[in-house]
Structure 1
C-alpha cells in the first residue's frame, strides 16, 4: 500500500471513530508502530489530527489539497466506477446509522459590510455609520446554519493564498462546523463581497468577486467522496464554478444522497442540473427567472413552481420573504407562513433558511416540517447583524412553540 493511500485510510477511520491507537493501526496495516507514528506525526503537521499518548484524535481541518488520490481517470470514469460498486456499498452500509449529516460544497467569502442610513445614488458618496469585516459566502453561511441547527456538517470550499486564507481557516476551526476541506488556489484570491446594509429597513446591496471559489477542479471534487458518502444531504449553490458543482451533484446521486440546490446567485446553468435535484429552493426573483413567470403573489408563485417542475425538478420551495414559503411536492402545494420578526439585517436570510432546511431534511423531517423549521430559523437570523450570525437550535424550537 502506498504511503498516501495508507494515510488517507487512517483519516477515513478517524473520521468515523474520532480516535485511534498506534497499536491498532500497526496491526491493521501490518506495518511497524514507528511507521504509524511517522504517519500520525505528518498528519498532525498538516493540521488534520492531534497527537495524543499512544495514538491520535481527528481534527480533519486543513488548508491543503495534498491528500488527493490521483487516479489518472477523468471524472466520468470515477462516476461509472462508483455506480458499478453501488450495490455492494449499499449492502455493506445497511442498518448503519447515517442520520443527521449534511455535506456542503460552497463558497467562502470575506464580507466587508458598510452600514448606511440609506443606499447611495449613482455617483454619490455617503459616510457609513459603521463597518465590519467578517466571514461570509453562501456556502460558509449555510454550513454555519446547518451546524447550529443541530446536524453534523462537512464543508468544502476553496480560498486563495493571501491574507484571508488564514482568516478562513481560523473561522472554520472555531465554528460549530464538524469538519471541512479547504483547498487553496494558486491563481485567484479568496472570494470577497462588498455589502451595503440600509438602516431604514435592513435591506442590502451586494457586489461579489468569487475569486478562488470558481477554481475547484475535478480531482478536488473526487477527493471528497469519502466525506460525501455517509451524508444524508448534499447542499449546493451557484457561487462556485458550475462544472465542479454539477460533478458534485452527480457524485451525490451516484451515492444515493439527496441533493438540495439553492440556485443563487441566479444562473441559467441551473437548468442543466434540474434532473439531478431532489429539492430546489429559489427565491421569488430566481423562481421568476427559472420559470419565465413573474411572481407577484401566491397564485403566480404556484404557476412558476409548476413550470419549474415541468423543467425537471422533483420538489420546489419558493422562498418569499415576509410572505413565507411555497412548497410544491408532487402535485400538492403547501404554504408556510413567515414567522413575525423585527428585521435588522436580511443579508443571510436565504442562507439561514437553506442551511436549516438541509439539516432538518438530514434528520428525517418531511419537507413541510423542514421548511417550517427553516422559516423559524431564518426569522431569528434576520434579527441579528451579519450574514453568518445565526441562531441556536433551542431558540428556533422556542419560536416554533410560540406559533
Structure 2
C-alpha cells in the first residue's frame, strides 16, 4: 500500500495563496499546487447546494459525503459516516493529524468525533485540545529546549508546543517543525500511513489568511520534495474559500522577492511590511465563506474530482494502488516543475480578479489567536 499525505488549506481560495506568493516571491508564480502533476478546481457546497460551513466542508473530505451545515462526521440524516481514519484503521494503516486548529473545532471533529465507536484512535495527533489522548508527556519546556525529542522519543508520546499565527511568530518550533517531525517518525518502519495536515487558522478577516497562506506555500514546496524523495503520495486542497478575496493591481509593485539577505529572525517583520503596502487594496466580498471553488492538487491521476467530497475516495484509490502516479517521465518531475515555476513572472490582470467568485453568502468562520500543539503516537 502507498502512504499518503493529505495537506488541507483551511479557508484558502486561490487568491489567498496568490497574495501570499506576491508577498514572498514578488510574483504570482511559484505555486506549489500548480507545480503538482494533477490539478483541478473543486466545488465546496453542502448537500442542499448552500454555502458550506466548516463542519460540512471537513465532513465532505473526511467522509466522502455531502452533508448539512453543523454536521460533524455525519450525513444529512445525522447518521455517523465511515470516515477516513476508520477506513484506514480497518486496513491496518496508521493515521495521524497535524493541525493548527483545536480538536474541539469542526476541522478535526469530522475525523475524530466518533472514532471511539470503532476503536480507531489516531496513531499521531499534533493539535490543541488533545485532552482525550492520554500518554507519556513531554513538557512544553522540554520540547522548546530540545526540539529533536520530537524525532527521538520512543512511542507513544505526547508533546505540548505553543504556536502563534505564522506572520506574528518568531518561534523556533513552527508548524513546519511539527509536520516534518511527524513524517520522519512515521516513515521509520516503512508501514503505510495517512497523515492529514490541517494548515492555516481562519481569522476574522480574509486578509489575515494571507500570512497563514505564506506558511502553507513554504511548507507545500518542501512537502513536494520530501514526498518525492520518500515515495509518498501527496494530495492538497483548500477546504472552502473565506471572504471572496480579490487582488488589486498594486500587487505588481511587489515585483521583487523577499530579499534573501534578510535574517530568519527578521523575515516575518519584512513580510508584514510588504503585506502592509498592498493590504488596503485587497477587496473582500464577505466576512464569511463564499461559494468560490478551491484548487486541488495531486501526485496521482485524479479520475473524477469536481467536489471536495471526492478527495476522500481519491486518497483511498492512491492507498490501494487504484490510480497511477503522474510523473511526467521521471520520479523527479514534481521538483523539476517546482523549479521551473520559479522562473515564471505573471502579473495580476484586472479581468482575472473576479473570475473565481460567483456568489457570496453566509457561513461560519473560526478565529484563533494562538495554539498549543499536541503530539501523540502509539504503536
What TM-score comes out, normalization by structure 2 length? 0.31
Larger Rg: 1
What TM-score comes out, normalization by structure 1 length? 0.29
Q: Going by fraction, where is strand more abundant, 1 or 2?
A: 1
Higher relative contact order (Cα pairs below 8 Å, separated by 6+ residues): 2
